[in-house]
Amino acid sequence: MKKTNSSLSKSAVFLLITIFAFLNASCSNKDSYTNNLVIAPAGAISNDNMQPLRIGMLPTQRFEEQQRMIKPLEEYLEKSLETEINFLVASDYKQVVKWLVDGKIDMAYVAGVSYLEALEGGAEIEPLVAPINKYTGRPWYRAAIVVRVNSNIKTLHQLKGKRFAFVNKSSTSGYLMPFNALNKLGIHPEEEFRKIIYSGTHAKALQALQNNNVDAVATNLPYYLKQQ
């Protein structure tokens, strides 16, 4: 474990301010979908085009850490499916959407927003499965706004005038749901926050908080608990 994660664990750096439960939907309901989905072009899963199987991934954390986590899954799938598996970690959320629209990948593990953006871009895709979150036991997870333990921010309205980090405008838990929830409370980030940055990944958002570059961040509960 790298030094950053270790220091997070020891000092309990983050205080959970609020949690938003969202997108509670069945994968079989085509009017709404859960947050993270494995999706594929319609008819793509067949014996004729499984060599190799290209799977796109969102950049959820440090590249090296994500590659380390993917490796055992890649080996398992290659053994089980008896075919070559190529996991492709995108540089950002938009790249996964572009891969799907351009037909550069056969499957992707994406958030709900990216799925909808790919559909709007003309990608012929359909949901296959949604993961069961280990914290909720359900196929959805929660978004959270997080501050440091020693922060004087105790309510969401005290975020006004503060520095804030979203993950990416295509991130469901790192932007869309927290942004909408804040607006519903009459808190308008783009007008009332002193500074907004888009970190690119949940890991970088929490690192910015750790380094005191921002006062609060939007992330998801599973990643927050993992960093603790």
Domain ranges of the chain: 3-22+136-227, 36-129
Residues ≥6 apart with Cβ < 8 Å to 177: 20, 22, 23, 143
Cα–Cα distances in Å, from 32 out to 23, 127, 148, 155, 190? 8, 11, 34, 31, 28
- CATH number of 36-129: 3.40.190.10, 3.20.20.70, 3.90.1150.10, 3.40.50.970? 3.40.190.10
Residues in the chain: 228
- Whole-prediction pTM: 0.61
AA identity, residue 58: L
3-class secondary structure, 144: strand
List pLDDT tens digits, range 7-55: 333 333 333 333 232 223 233 333 333 456 555 555 554 555 557 899 9
CATH class in words for 3-22+136-227: alpha beta
- Predicted confidence pLDDT, tens digits, the chain (228 residues): 333 333 333 333 333 333 232 223 233 333 333 456 555 555 554 555 557 899 999 887 778 888 888 999 999 999 998 899 999 999 888 899 999 999 999 999 887 888 889 999 999 999 888 888 777 788 887 899 999 999 999 999 999 999 999 999 988 899 999 999 999 999 999 999 999 999 988 989 999 999 999 999 999 888 888 888
Q: What are the tokens at 147?
A: 């501050």
Run of H or E residues at 50: none
**Unique residue bearing structure tokens 């750096």:** 13
Q: What are the tokens at 223?
A: 């990643």
List pLDDT tens digits, range 15-26: 333 323 222 323
Same-fold call for 3-22+136-227 versus 36-129: yes
